[in-house]
Homo-oligomer: A and B are copies of this chain.
């Protein structure tokens, strides 16, 4: 599975110079296209198991973790793999095989962009 088809959700540098997928939620009504793109990210985090997996990876040292470290979320391993794939398809994680183990890593720029999307860059109070 290639990581090449990560969605162009955000600017890779997180600088805000390259246009992210969407303006802050409070800035203007989303177009259908913007909503489709952003909803994909939110939907990926809209499952408790995926949220735990994502949080486990994000909070692990170096922002990466092998599957063996995070697969204790109460579901079978195929299910864990399934959810990790979903997170990867949403552009929130990337994976890399190193020997026996597969390591998953967060995309910090995506996290930052989603935070910006929600907090409007300002203090979220409009």
Q: Which residues of A contact B (CB under 8 A)?
A: 14, 16, 25-32, 35-36, 38-39, 42-52, 54-56, 58-59, 63, 70, 73-74, 106, 108, 111-112, 114-116, 118-121, 123-126
Contact = CB atoms under 8 A, between A and B. Distances in A.
A30 to B, nearest CB: 4
A45 B22 CA distance: 14
A16 B124 CA distance: 12
Contact of A26 (B26, B43, B59, B116): B59
A46 B48 contact: no
Q: Secondary structure at chain A's binding surface: helix, strand, loop or mixed?
A: helix
A115 B112 contact: no
B28 A55 contact: yes
